[in-house]
Amino acid sequence: MGELASATIAAGGAITGIIPDHLRQREVAHPDLTELVVVDSMHARKRIMAERADAFCVLPGGLGSLDEVVEIITWKQLGLHEKPIVLLDHAGFWQPFLDLLAHQAALGFVDGAHRELFDVAADIDGVFAAIERHPEPVEMLQGTRL
């Protein structure tokens, strides 16, 4: 995330970081962020990120990325948002996840239609194309507690 933030800043872009206080105490926040929002929990972090985002692009990552992608797909399944979600499948990174969803669908645990809740793109051009194909994002549903 730090390299992506640095590249965005170098290109003149704005970056907002959202970090729980307990992680800010353990990790160094990027020094050049446009905005740093410190929250009290991971739940608050994900809620604020979801509220502020127009779309979600999930890069290859670890357990935190897996947690966040499953949660944001689930929120879409539950009708809490209608924003585009795109997995950047660099070098086939997300294929095991897609295989797991297909396995769950084959066993009847996941509706096969849930695969339509998100797109998969092999490269950044594919990510932008997937977002552009998506209907205009709507706000998170009012009155919901995420």
Contact 133, 143 (CB under 8 A): no
Domain limits, the chain: 1-52, 55-133
- In this prediction, residue 27 carries a pLDDT of 73
Q: What is the mean pLDDT of the chain?
A: 90
User: What pTM does this model have?
Assistant: 0.87
The model's pLDDT over 32-54, given as tens digits with 9 standing for 90+, comes to 899 999 999 999 999 999 999 99
| Residue of 4, 120, 122 whose CA lies nearest to 73 | 120
The model's pLDDT over 115-132, given as tens digits with 9 standing for 90+, comes to 999 999 999 999 999 999
Arch. (CATH architecture) of 55-133: 3-Layer(aba) Sandwich (3.40)
